[in-house]
Amino acid sequence: MFKFFKEKIKNWAEKISKHGEKETEEEKSEKAKEPRRIIIKETPKDEKRESFLEKIKGKISKIKISEKEFEVYSEELEMLLIENNVALEVAQKIINELKEKIAGKEFLRKEVENEIRENLKEIIENILVEPFKIVDKIKEKISDQAKEPYVILFCGINGSGKTTTIAKIADHLKRNGITCVLAASDTFRAASIEQIKKHGEKLGMKVIAQDYGADPAAVAFDAVKYAKKNFINCVLIDTAGRMHTAKNLIREIEKISKVCKPDLKIFVGESITGNDIIEQVKSFDWALNIDGIVLTKADIDEKGGTALSVGYILKKPILYLGTGQEYNKIEVFDKKKFIEKLGL
Amino acid sequence: MLEKLGEVIRKATDKIANAIFLDKNLVDSIVRDLQRALLEADVNVFLVKKLTDKIKQTALDERVNGIEKKEHLIKILHDELLGLLGETKKLNIQKENRIIFLGLYGAGKTTTIAKIGNYFAKRGNKVALVGLDVHRPAAKEQLKQLAEKNNLDYFIDFDEKNALKTWKKFKPKLKDYKIILIDTAGRHTLDKELVDEISVLNKEINPTESILVMPADIGQAAKKQSEEFKNILNITGVIITRMDSTAKGGGALTACAETKAPVYFITTGEKINDIDEFNQKSFLSRLLGMGDLQSLIEKIRSVTDKEKQEKIKKQLEEGKLSLNDVIEQAKSMSSLGGFEKIKSMIPGLGNAKIPENLLESQQEKVAKWEHIIKSMTSKEKENPELLKKETSRISRVAKGAGVSTSEIRSLLKQYDMLNEMIKSGSSMDIDSTGMMNQKQMMKLAKKFGKFKKMKF
C-alpha cells in the first residue's frame, strides 16, 4: 500500500521549497516583474548587486506561499492523490484543508517541507477515525447482559468479499475465546449457502440456514434466537451482495437490520474500488447507519487511497483489512502504521 | 449510471457550440469540468490529462477560426473519447473454442460464465462449462447451480483438488462441444502459486481465447491489473462486470483500451440476460444521451423467440392486437432488463425526466395485468372492446383478479394506445439483414419521442 505515494509526496513538498529558490534567482535577474507569488522577506527587492552571500541568505530566509501560488502546486498534489485512488471529491477536500493551513502563512524555508508534511499528516489523522476493537466490544456486552448475543451484520456490493471476511472474523473471534454462530442470510446467489456452510465446517461453527429464496431476515432472526438459546456470544450475519442502487434490495437489508437489531453494522468494500466507493458507502450508510468498515483485497492494492475516501465520507472507523485468502490473512487496521506507510 | 458523465460532456459540447468566441477562460472552464467528470469516472489520470491537453491545444489554436473551429473541437472531443474506449472487437466463434476466464477475486467470473454460456447456447451452439476453481469454498456448487438453472452442460469434479487433473479427466468428454468455457479461481498477479497454476493450465488447455473479467468500479488500479494479467497470459479480451449502478467503468474501460485488450462484453445485473456486447460507438452514443437503437433491436431479438416474433408481426400487419399481446410485449420488456435499462437505449428518452419509482411501479403494474387477463374469458381477451361496452364485465374481472376496477381501465387504456400506435405508423420493417437504415431509425426515434408524453 502506498508504495509510490511516499516517495512522491516527499518530492512534492521538496519541490515547493525548492521552487522558491529558483524564484529567488529569477527575481533578482528580472527585478521589475511585479506581483511575485513567493515573497522573500529578507531579500530586499531593490538590491542591485548580487553577492554569493545573498544567495545563501535566500535559502535560509522565510517564505510565504500565497493562495494563488498554492493553487498552482495543489493541482499537482490533487493529481497525486487521485492517481493513488483517492476519490476526486475527497482529494479536493483534503487540499482545501491544507490550503487553509498553509496558504498565506510564513515559514522558514528549510521548514516548509516539514510544515507541509506535518499539516498533511494532521489532516489525514483527522480523517481516519481511531478503530475500536470488536473483541472488546463483544466481551463488554456479554459480560453485561449475560444472555444477549452480540449481533454483527455485514453488507456490501456483489463480490466485495463478505463471506470470506465473515469466515476470517469468525476465526479471529474464536481465537479470542468468543463463540460464534453464522447466519446464511444470502439466500439469493447460487451456492452462497454452501459456501458459508463449508466455512462453518472448517471453523467448527454452527451455520443457521434455510433454502434459497427464503426471507433473509427470517434466517438472521433464527440465528439470533439460536444464539440466545445456546448461550453463544456472537452472531455473524452474511447477506447477499447488492448494488447500492437497487432500491428494493436496500429496503430488504433495512428489514434485516430492523428484525435482528445488530449491535454492529459493517460495510465490506474493496480497497481497489475507485470513485464509486463513495456512492456505495453513502447509500449503505443512509439505509443502515454503518458502524465500521472492512476493506478487502488490500494485498492487491498498492495505492491505499480508498481508505482515505471511505474514512472521509463516513467518518467511521476502518476495522480490518483483508489481505488474502487464508483465515489468518486479516489485519486489524492500525491507523498509526497506515500513516507511517504514507511517509508522513 | 453514466448520466452524470454524459451530462458534463453534453454541456461541454453545448458550451462550445454556443460560444460566440472561444476565449481562454471559457476553454479553461470547459476543460476543468471535463477533467473532473472523467476523473470521477475513474479514468486514468494521465489519459485524462492527455485528452484535455489536446482539447485545449485545439481550442487555442489560432489558425482555425469561427464555426469551423467549433465543429472541429466537438469532433475532436468525440474522437478522443472514442479513442479512450479502444477498438471494437467481437468475440468470434470458431470451429473449436476453449475460452478461459480469469480475474481478481469477486470480479464475477462464475456468474459471467453462466451468462456467456447462455448467450451462445441461445444462438445455437453446443456449450460446456468446466469448473476449475478448486480453491474458493463452494465455487463449484455455484457453477453447477447456475448451469442447471439455465440448462447448460457442466463438467465439475467435486472431490478433485487439483485444477490440472480435473481438466485432464474431462478433456476426452469435451470433444463434442463447440464452445468450452473454463472457470478458474480468483487470483491476483502477485500470488506466485496461483500464477504458476494458471501458467501450467494455460499450457495444457491451450485456450483459443483468454478473457479477463474486471469489475466496473475498479479505480486507478485498473491499468496495472490489466497490464499484469496480460503479461502472465495472453489476454485476448475483457468482460467488464457490474456496469449497473453508479460505477462508470471509466477505469476498466480505458485501461483495456490502453493495454490493447478489447472489451467483448459488459454485464449489467444479476439476471442471466444482463449481458451486452460492447460497442464503443453505441456506448458513447448512449453516454451522450443519443440512444442506441441498434443494441435495443439486438436485445429484443435475443430474448424473444422466432415464433412469437412471427406471430406478433402478423398481427401487427393485420392491425389487430389482443390483450395477450400487450402482456407478451410487456413481459419481453422486463426480460430485457426492465424499463430502466431500455430507457437509456431509446433516443430522447434517456434525457426525459421520468420519476424513478414510476418505472418501478410500471413493472408492478405489468405483473397485475397478467392476473387481470387470467380472469377474463377468451372472448374478452380477443375483443377488449367488450369490456368497455358492458362495464359489468369489468367489475367481475376485478373481483376475480383481486384488483380495483381502475387498474383494469388502465390496462385497457394501454391496449388502446398500443393499438393506435400500430395503426398510425407503418409497421417498422427490419430488412433481411436485420439492420435498420438511418431513416427508419429517425422515424422510430420520433415515435418514441411521442412516448415521452405518454402517461403510464
* Interior/surface letters B247-260, b for 16+ CB within 10 angstroms, e for the rest: bbbbbbbbbbbbbe
- Whether residue B430 is predicted with pLDDT greater than 70 in this model: the reply is no
- Find, in chain A, the residue whose alpha carbon is nearest to that of B46: A83
Same domain, A278 and A162: yes
How far, rounded to the nearest angstrom, does the alpha carbon of residue A337 sit from its chain's CA centroid? 13
8 A C-beta contact, residue B435 and residue B393: no
Q: Is B447 exposed, middle or buried (0-12, 13-18, 19+ CB in 10 A)?
A: middle
Q: In angstroms, what CA-CA distances link B39 with A81, A228, B227? A: 11, 49, 20
A187's grid cell = 439466500
Same domain, A178 and A266: yes
- What's the pLDDT at B348? 52
Angstrom distance (rounded) from CA A213 to CA A208: 15
β-bridge partners, B363? none
In terms of pLDDT, which residue wins out, A315 or B286?
A: A315
Interstrand relation of B263-267 and B275-277 (parallel, antiparallel or unpaired): antiparallel
* Interior/surface letters B66-101, b for 16+ CB within 10 angstroms, e for the rest: eeebbeebeebbbebbbbbbbebeebeeeeebbbbb
- Segment of A139-143, A318-322, B33-37, B377-381 carrying the highest mean pLDDT: A318-322
- What's the pLDDT at A31? 36
Angstrom distance (rounded) from CA A170 to CA B238: 35
B445's grid cell = 426515434
- Whether residue A172 is predicted with pLDDT greater than 60 in this model: the reply is yes
Three-class DSSP category at A315? coil
Same domain, A41 and A72: yes
Say whether B137 and A199 touch across the interface (CB within 8 A): yes
- Whether residue B444 is predicted with pLDDT greater than 50 in this model: the reply is yes
- Whether residue A89 is predicted with pLDDT greater than 70 in this model: the reply is yes
- What's the pLDDT at B261? 84
**CATH for B97-290?**
3.40.50.300
> Domain end: A127, A143, A164, which one?
A127
- What's the pLDDT at B454? 42
Angstrom distance (rounded) from CA A162 to CA A268: 6
CA-based torsion, B190, B192, B194, B197: positive or negative: positive
Range of the domain at A105: 3-127
ipTM above 0.95, yes or no: no
Confidence of residue A48 (pLDDT cuts 50, 70, 90): very low
Instruction: Report phi then psi at B107, rounded to 5.
Output: -80, -20
- Segment of A21-35, A165-179, B234-248 carrying the highest mean pLDDT: A165-179
Q: In this complex, is the C-beta atom of B41 within 8 Å of any C-beta atom belonging to chain A?
A: yes
β-bridge partners, B102? B212
- What's the pLDDT at A150? 93
How far, rounded to the nearest angstrom, does the alpha carbon of residue B200 sit from its chain's CA centroid? 34
Confidence of residue A30 (pLDDT cuts 50, 70, 90): very low
3-state percent helix, strand, coil for chain B, nearest multiple of 5: 60, 10, 35
Distance from the Cα of A88 to chain B's closest Cα (Å) equals 6
Say whether A245 and B104 touch across the interface (CB within 8 A): no
List chain A residues with CB under 8 Å of B149: 190
List chain B residues with CB under 8 Å of A245: 1, 244-246
Q: In angstroms, what CA-CA distances link A14 with A21, A24, A116? A: 11, 16, 10
Domain count, chain A: 2
In this complex, which of A83, A89, A191 lies closest to B141 when CB atoms are compared?
A191
In terms of pLDDT, which residue wins out, A27 or B252?
A: B252
Same domain, A231 and A310: yes
Q: For A298-308, write each residue's pLDDT tens digit.
A: 888 777 889 99
Confidence of residue A104 (pLDDT cuts 50, 70, 90): confident
- What's the pLDDT at B222? 86
- Find, in chain A, the residue whose alpha carbon is nearest to that of B220: A85
- Segment of A21-35, B25-39, B132-146, B362-376 carrying the highest mean pLDDT: B132-146
Say whether B40 and A275 touch across the interface (CB within 8 A): yes
Weakest-pLDDT range from A131-135, B132-136, B344-348, B426-430: B426-430
CATH number of the domain at B3-84, out of 3.40.50.1370, 3.40.640.10, 2.40.30.10, 1.20.120.140? 1.20.120.140
Q: For B351-410, write each residue's pLDDT tens digit.
A: 555 555 555 666 677 777 778 888 888 888 777 788 888 888 888 888 888 888 888 888
- What's the pLDDT at A341? 77
Q: Which B residues, 301 through 360, put their C-beta within 8 Å of a C-beta on chain A?
A: 356-357, 360
Q: For A5-27, write each residue's pLDDT tens digit.
A: 666 777 777 777 666 554 444 33
Weakest-pLDDT range from A301-315, B20-34, B74-88, B434-448: B434-448
DSSP at B173? G
* Residue matched to cell numbers 496495472: B224
Over residues B23-40, mean pLDDT: 86
Over residues B33-47, mean pLDDT: 86
Q: In angstroms, what CA-CA distances link A269 with A281, A305, B217? A: 8, 13, 11
For the residues of B148-163, what is the DSSP string, one character each? HHTT-EEE--SS---H
- Find, in chain A, the residue whose alpha carbon is nearest to that of B32: A75
* Interior/surface letters A319-334, b for 16+ CB within 10 angstroms, e for the rest: bbbbbbbebeebeebe
Distance from the Cα of A279 to chain B's closest Cα (Å) equals 7
- Whether residue A320 is predicted with pLDDT greater than 90 in this model: the reply is yes
For the residues of B323-354, what is the DSSP string, one character each? HHHHHHHHHHHHHTTHHHHHHTTSTTTTTS--
Weakest-pLDDT range from A99-113, A186-200, A268-282, B441-455: B441-455
A16's grid cell = 515547493
In terms of pLDDT, which residue wins out, B375 or B450?
A: B375
8 A C-beta contact, residue A268 and residue A154: yes
- What's the pLDDT at B347? 56
- Whether residue A56 is predicted with pLDDT greater than 70 in this model: the reply is no
- Smallest CA-to-CA distance from B271 within A209, A43, A246 is with A246
- Whether residue A331 is predicted with pLDDT greater than 60 in this model: the reply is yes
Angstrom distance (rounded) from CA A23 to CA A36: 9
Confidence of residue A239 (pLDDT cuts 50, 70, 90): very high
Q: Can you state the angle between helices B45-60 and A67-83, rounded to 10 degrees?
A: 130
Instruction: State the architecture of B295-451 in CATH terms.
Output: Orthogonal Bundle (1.10)
- Whether residue B310 is predicted with pLDDT greater than 70 in this model: the reply is no
Q: In this complex, is the C-beta atom of B190 within 8 Å of any C-beta atom belonging to chain A?
A: yes
Angstrom distance (rounded) from CA A190 to CA B150: 12
- What's the pLDDT at A44? 40
Angstrom distance (rounded) from CA B403 to CA B397: 8
> Domain end: A112, A127, A142, which one?
A127
- What's the pLDDT at A113? 77
8 A C-beta contact, residue A77 and residue A63: no
Q: Which B residues, 198 through 237, put their C-beta within 8 Å of a C-beta on chain A?
A: 215-222, 224-225
- Please, what is the average pLDDT of chain B? 78
- Whether residue B142 is predicted with pLDDT greater than 90 in this model: the reply is yes
Say whether B142 and A247 touch across the interface (CB within 8 A): no
Interstrand relation of A264-270 and A150-155 (parallel, antiparallel or unpaired): parallel
Domain residue ranges of chain B, discontinuous segments joined by + = 3-84, 97-290, 295-451
Same domain, A316 and A213: yes
For the residues of B395-416, what is the DSSP string, one character each? HHHHHHHT--HHHHHHHHHHHH
B295-451 has the same fold as B97-290 = no
- What's the pLDDT at A173? 94
Same domain, A209 and A85: no
Over residues B339-359, mean pLDDT: 56
Task: Please report, for the domain that includes residue A8, its CATH number.
Answer: 1.20.120.140
- Find, in chain B, the residue whose alpha carbon is nearest to that of A270: B218
- What's the pLDDT at B451? 46
List chain A residues with CB under 8 Å of B250: 274
Confidence of residue B174 (pLDDT cuts 50, 70, 90): very high
- Find, in chain B, the residue whose alpha carbon is nearest to that of A200: B137
Say whether B225 and A277 touch across the interface (CB within 8 A): no
Say whether A325 and B105 touch across the interface (CB within 8 A): yes
Distance from the Cα of A178 to chain B's closest Cα (Å) equals 24
- What's the pLDDT at A49? 44
Same domain, A121 and A138: no
C-alpha gyration radius of chain A: 26
Confidence of residue A36 (pLDDT cuts 50, 70, 90): very low
- Smallest CA-to-CA distance from B51 within B75, B76, B21 is with B76
- What's the pLDDT at B340? 57
What lies within 8 Å, CB to CB, of A18 at 6+ separation is none
Weakest-pLDDT range from A204-213, B134-143, B381-390: B381-390
Q: In angstroms, what CA-CA distances link B84 with A124, A250, B266, B267? A: 33, 34, 16, 20
Over residues B203-211, mean pLDDT: 92
Residue % of chain B over a pLDDT of 90: 20
Angstrom distance (rounded) from CA B1 to CA B226: 23
Helices (H), A84-145: 88-102, 109-127, 134-144
Weakest-pLDDT range from A42-56, A96-110, B119-133: A42-56
Task: Please report, for the domain that includes residue A227, its CATH number.
Answer: 3.40.50.300
Q: Can you state the angle between helices B24-40 and A88-102, rounded to 10 degrees?
A: 120
Same domain, A176 and A213: yes
Same domain, A117 and A228: no
In this complex, which of A197, A280, A301 lies closest to B221 when CB atoms are compared?
A301
Same domain, A119 and A184: no
Say whether A274 and B142 touch across the interface (CB within 8 A): no
State if pTM tops 0.80: no
